[in-house]
Structure 1
């Protein structure tokens, strides 16, 4: 696929045009991400500092609900917010998927996973962090990964 990028003046509105033969789920995900890209960050407080920071979505490995707070994990810093997980699930782009009642991951950082004896999956992120995918969310994870992949998943 040929990609063209044109840098425009700051005062002009950014736009994107696709010349495609068919709308696939991958294209729909790209469109959804682009539509949400005007707010492509979360505001949260670092656990080590007491100040709000903008965290780009692209830096977030996963989010976890714990002790009435949402912890946001990046490669090197942990942030916290009091925003409910269901609201974040609605606001975040499609590459974030819920894998349990308390955890959402950014599938761009999903490195591999393995099946546990109890039926759960263990997802291993690119920073070697391990999180459990509960049985309830395995099928939606598989469906999401299949839509990003050209070949069916085997496990």
Structure 2
């Protein structure tokens, strides 16, 4: 790894030189992209800029979008599909009609009898991967 640190640089620039992008490198690239994206959330009449890397999952209930971090819940004005587009090149993936999850915060997954999966997050919460989304979820989570 080569790191050049100098006060002459105004911005951080990352260059990756490789013969091909394998699964491990692809995950690293997603992680780097994810650290620079933020979403705006509101809690107790205060607005916060939330680093996407700190988000566990995002859910829509009764046309209201909620952002979940390790311990807090925020409201968001964006529709879930807009957030999904913004996070398309990150570790987030849709796992239900009203739910997208950050696969970087998944601790384990187990299959359920009805074709669904249950994902246990690192904060001990559990989310359900609906049957319709299982194939894409497995590809993204296991890659």
**TM-score normalised by structure 1 residue count:** 0.81
1:133 corresponds to 2:129: yes
Partner SS for 1:53? strand
Equivalences for residues 47-58 of structure 1 within 5 A? 49-58=44-53
Partner SS for 2:5? coil
Partner SS for 1:131? strand
1:63 corresponds to 2:58: yes
Aligned to 2:71: 76
Aligned Cα root-mean-square deviation (Å) = 2.1
Query: How much has 1:8 moved relative to structure 2?
Result: 3.8
Contact 1:96 1:107 in 2 (8 A): yes
Contact 2:35 2:51 in 1 (8 A): no
Q: Select which of 74, 82, 87 maps to 2:82.
A: 87
Q: Select which of 98, 107, 114 maps to 1:102.
A: 98
Matches of 2:7 and 2:91, distance apart in 1:
29
Matches of 2:8 and 2:59, distance apart in 1:
36
Matches of 2:34 and 2:132, distance apart in 1:
27
Q: Select which of 1, 4, 23 maps to 1:6.
A: 4
Query: How much has 1:19 moved relative to structure 2?
Result: 2.0
Looking at secondary structure, tell me which structure has more strand per residue: 2
Matches of 1:140 and 1:41, distance apart in 2:
24
Partner SS for 1:99? strand
Q: Select which of 37, 42, 45 maps to 1:45.
A: 42
Query: How much has 1:9 moved relative to structure 2?
Result: 3.0
